[in-house]
Amino acid sequence: MTLAERLMQDMVNSMKSGDADRTGMIRLLRAAVKNEEIKAGHSLNDEEVLKVLQRESKQRKDAAVLYREAGRDDLLAKEEYELGIVAEYLPKLMDEAQTKDLVDRVIDDLGEVGGLQVGIVIGVVLKQAAGQADGALVSKLVRERLAS
Protein backbone atom coordinates (compact mmCIF):
# COMPACT_ATOMS: atom_id res chain seq x y z
CA MET A 1 0.00 0.00 0.00
CA THR A 2 1.41 3.38 -1.00
CA LEU A 3 1.53 6.31 1.41
CA ALA A 4 -1.22 8.09 -0.55
CA GLU A 5 -3.44 5.00 -0.32
CA ARG A 6 -2.69 4.70 3.39
CA LEU A 7 -3.69 8.33 3.92
CA MET A 8 -6.97 7.66 2.13
CA GLN A 9 -7.65 4.49 4.11
CA ASP A 10 -6.83 6.16 7.41
CA MET A 11 -9.10 9.09 6.55
CA VAL A 12 -11.99 6.73 5.85
CA ASN A 13 -11.34 4.87 9.12
CA SER A 14 -11.20 8.10 11.14
CA MET A 15 -14.43 9.29 9.52
CA LYS A 16 -16.11 6.02 10.45
CA SER A 17 -14.87 6.29 14.03
CA GLY A 18 -16.12 9.88 14.30
CA ASP A 19 -12.72 11.40 15.11
CA ALA A 20 -13.22 14.83 13.53
CA ASP A 21 -9.83 16.26 14.54
CA ARG A 22 -7.92 13.33 13.07
CA THR A 23 -10.07 13.33 9.94
CA GLY A 24 -9.43 17.03 9.45
CA MET A 25 -5.68 16.63 9.79
CA ILE A 26 -5.52 13.71 7.39
CA ARG A 27 -7.65 15.69 4.91
CA LEU A 28 -5.16 18.53 5.21
CA LEU A 29 -2.28 16.13 4.49
CA ARG A 30 -4.12 14.67 1.51
CA ALA A 31 -4.75 18.20 0.21
CA ALA A 32 -1.04 19.02 0.51
CA VAL A 33 -0.21 15.86 -1.46
CA LYS A 34 -2.85 16.70 -4.09
CA ASN A 35 -1.52 20.26 -4.45
CA GLU A 36 1.96 18.87 -5.00
CA GLU A 37 0.59 16.44 -7.61
CA ILE A 38 -1.01 19.35 -9.44
CA LYS A 39 2.28 21.29 -9.37
CA ALA A 40 4.24 18.24 -10.56
CA GLY A 41 1.69 17.26 -13.17
CA HIS A 42 1.71 13.58 -12.18
CA SER A 43 0.80 11.27 -9.33
CA LEU A 44 3.43 11.31 -6.61
CA ASN A 45 5.44 8.25 -5.69
CA ASP A 46 6.08 7.37 -2.05
CA GLU A 47 9.36 9.31 -1.95
CA GLU A 48 7.64 12.47 -3.17
CA VAL A 49 4.71 12.00 -0.75
CA LEU A 50 7.25 11.55 2.03
CA LYS A 51 8.83 14.92 1.17
CA VAL A 52 5.41 16.57 1.40
CA LEU A 53 4.79 14.96 4.77
CA GLN A 54 8.22 16.00 6.02
CA ARG A 55 7.48 19.59 4.97
CA GLU A 56 4.16 19.46 6.85
CA SER A 57 5.95 18.06 9.90
CA LYS A 58 8.55 20.82 9.81
CA GLN A 59 5.84 23.49 9.59
CA ARG A 60 4.19 22.10 12.70
CA LYS A 61 7.48 21.84 14.59
CA ASP A 62 8.29 25.46 13.75
CA ALA A 63 4.81 26.60 14.79
CA ALA A 64 5.08 24.63 18.05
CA VAL A 65 8.32 26.40 18.91
CA LEU A 66 6.72 29.79 18.30
CA TYR A 67 3.64 28.91 20.35
CA ARG A 68 5.81 27.61 23.19
CA GLU A 69 7.82 30.85 23.22
CA ALA A 70 4.61 32.92 23.19
CA GLY A 71 3.07 30.89 26.02
CA ARG A 72 0.13 29.79 23.86
CA ASP A 73 -0.40 26.34 25.36
CA ASP A 74 -3.78 25.92 23.64
CA LEU A 75 -2.28 26.33 20.18
CA LEU A 76 0.82 24.36 21.17
CA ALA A 77 -1.32 21.36 22.11
CA LYS A 78 -3.08 21.49 18.72
CA GLU A 79 0.23 21.63 16.82
CA GLU A 80 1.68 18.76 18.83
CA TYR A 81 -1.44 16.67 18.19
CA GLU A 82 -1.16 17.34 14.45
CA LEU A 83 2.56 16.60 14.54
CA GLY A 84 1.80 13.24 16.12
CA ILE A 85 -0.52 12.37 13.26
CA VAL A 86 2.03 13.37 10.61
CA ALA A 87 4.72 11.37 12.46
CA GLU A 88 2.66 8.20 11.98
CA TYR A 89 3.44 8.37 8.26
CA LEU A 90 7.11 9.29 8.52
CA PRO A 91 9.91 6.76 8.92
CA LYS A 92 11.43 6.43 12.37
CA LEU A 93 14.26 8.92 12.77
CA MET A 94 17.78 7.86 13.64
CA ASP A 95 18.85 8.71 17.18
CA GLU A 96 21.69 11.15 17.84
CA ALA A 97 24.37 8.44 18.03
CA GLN A 98 23.33 6.92 14.70
CA THR A 99 23.20 10.36 13.10
CA LYS A 100 26.65 11.22 14.47
CA ASP A 101 28.04 7.96 13.04
CA LEU A 102 26.58 8.80 9.62
CA VAL A 103 27.98 12.35 9.75
CA ASP A 104 31.43 10.99 10.69
CA ARG A 105 31.30 8.42 7.87
CA VAL A 106 30.29 11.00 5.27
CA ILE A 107 32.99 13.45 6.33
CA ASP A 108 35.60 10.68 6.31
CA ASP A 109 34.43 9.55 2.83
CA LEU A 110 34.56 13.10 1.47
CA GLY A 111 38.12 13.53 2.71
CA GLU A 112 39.43 17.05 3.19
CA VAL A 113 36.36 19.12 4.04
CA GLY A 114 36.55 22.73 5.15
CA GLY A 115 34.14 24.88 7.10
CA LEU A 116 32.86 26.48 3.91
CA GLN A 117 31.50 23.13 2.70
CA VAL A 118 29.01 22.65 5.53
CA GLY A 119 26.05 22.75 3.15
CA ILE A 120 27.56 20.13 0.88
CA VAL A 121 28.19 17.76 3.79
CA ILE A 122 24.68 18.30 5.20
CA GLY A 123 23.20 17.59 1.77
CA VAL A 124 25.13 14.33 1.39
CA VAL A 125 24.22 13.20 4.92
CA LEU A 126 20.53 13.94 4.42
CA LYS A 127 20.52 12.17 1.07
CA GLN A 128 22.15 9.07 2.55
CA ALA A 129 19.79 9.16 5.53
CA ALA A 130 16.82 9.03 3.12
CA GLY A 131 14.41 10.91 5.35
CA GLN A 132 15.46 9.17 8.54
CA ALA A 133 17.57 11.97 10.01
CA ASP A 134 16.48 15.23 11.60
CA GLY A 135 17.88 18.06 9.49
CA ALA A 136 18.50 20.35 12.46
CA LEU A 137 20.45 17.63 14.27
CA VAL A 138 22.49 16.87 11.15
CA SER A 139 23.31 20.56 10.75
CA LYS A 140 24.39 20.85 14.39
CA LEU A 141 26.56 17.71 14.24
CA VAL A 142 28.21 18.67 10.94
CA ARG A 143 29.01 22.17 12.20
CA GLU A 144 30.48 20.75 15.44
CA ARG A 145 32.59 18.21 13.57
CA LEU A 146 33.90 20.70 11.02
CA ALA A 147 34.65 23.27 13.72
CA SER A 148 37.03 20.88 15.49
Per-residue pLDDT reduced to its tens digit, 71-125? 999 999 999 999 999 999 988 888 888 888 888 888 888 777 666 677 888 888 8
- Radius of gyration over alpha carbons of the chain, in Å? 18
Q: How far is the CA of 42 from the CAs of 45, 48, 50, 54, 117, in angstroms?
A: 9, 11, 15, 19, 35
- Give the domain range for residue 38: 3-87
Indicate if 22 and 42 belong to the same structural domain: yes
CATH number for position 125: 1.10.10
Predicted model pTM: 0.75
Q: Which residue, of 64, 87, 110, is where some domain finishes?
A: 87
pLDDT of residue 48: 92
Indicate if 8 and 77 belong to the same structural domain: yes
pLDDT in tens, 27-82: 999 999 999 999 999 999 988 998 899 999 999 999 999 999 999 999 999 999 99
CATH number for position 79: 1.10.1510.10
DSSP secondary structure string for all residues of 77-142 = HHHHHHHHHHHTTSPPPP-HHHHHHHHHHHHHHH-S--GGGHHHHHHHHHHHHTT-S-HHHHHHHH
pLDDT of residue 114: 67
| Higher pLDDT pick, 141 / 20 | 20
Angle at 29 between CA 25 and CA 34, to 5 degrees: 145
Indicate if 19 and 73 belong to the same structural domain: yes
Indicate if 30 and 49 belong to the same structural domain: yes
Q: Which residue, of 43, 65, 87, is where some domain finishes?
A: 87
Q: Which residue, of 87, 116, 138, is where some domain finishes?
A: 87
Query: Into how many domains does the chain fold?
Result: 2
